Amino acid sequence: MYEKDSSDLNRLFDELFDMVDSKLSEKGNIAFESGATACVVYVQQEENNETYIYTANVGDTRAVLVKENGEHERLSYDHKASDPAEAERVRLL
């Protein structure tokens, strides 16, 4: 597995999460008084058998790839306020 240009998918994930956020906003305060997380994984198999895995997540959730041999690999990172990098990202918004 390796990364290729994912700018189109980044935009798609952003648009999808924005759309869900807008729909939740239409529900009023209930959407903001409760919590929500989302984790999306898109796997693309090319004709040359190269596999691309793209992940996007919002909130305290993560994607983990478990391999046939039992090994695992973290594919995303939780958005936790206790994480200094995440706290700084939110502060800069």
Q: What is the CA radius of gyration of the chain?
A: 16
Q: What is the pTM of this model?
A: 0.67
What is the H or E stretch that residue 73 is in? strand 72-74
Asked whether residue 83 carries a pLDDT value surpassing 90, the answer given is: no
pLDDT, position 32: 62
How far is 82 from 2, CA to CA, in rounded Å?
30
How far is 55 from 9, CA to CA, in rounded Å?
9
How far is 70 from 65, CA to CA, in rounded Å?
10
Residue ranges with strand state E in 4-50: 38-45
Name the more confident of 26 and 30.
26
Asked whether residue 18 carries a pLDDT value surpassing 70, the answer given is: yes
